[in-house]
Chains A and B, each alone.
Chain A
């Protein structure tokens, strides 16, 4: 199969993720969309790695997975604590850190 199709799929996934982050207010959904974008990146990296025949992209995608896992730990903790104090997971309600 043409490896470029993977890249097109990755672009589509990323676009869906980005739109999700922009339009959804629920922090959990936004978070899932971020994961979607990360996965799209991983797919692109692996596809690129396959095209060039090296292992660089594979290694990079492995790092992205590690970072994503760490991010989930921190991010979920923040979301849970926001929910506990405010009874809401809307990202628009949590705007106290602006200037």
Chain B
């Protein structure tokens, strides 16, 4: 490291390493209730993680939640962008993940045909 700019670059590069420990950013929440898992929530989760890695997305946290009472619509995935309504997608398959992330997470365009709920916050 030779200059202050080097330090700044290094800081940016490694920020993602600790960023997860501070609130903020876009959240993707996967329903991991019993029927969610039975419907393939784990595979969807893996697909989400792969997609984020592939696109090198920063500032996205992936969390899980339990049963929310819409079991017949599983796998359920919520996307929450800061200051926007919480969008719930239903019957998500690993194949649909790329579209949800590409459209909604990256570009803020909701994938209407998969939406099963909206909660304004």
A binds B: no
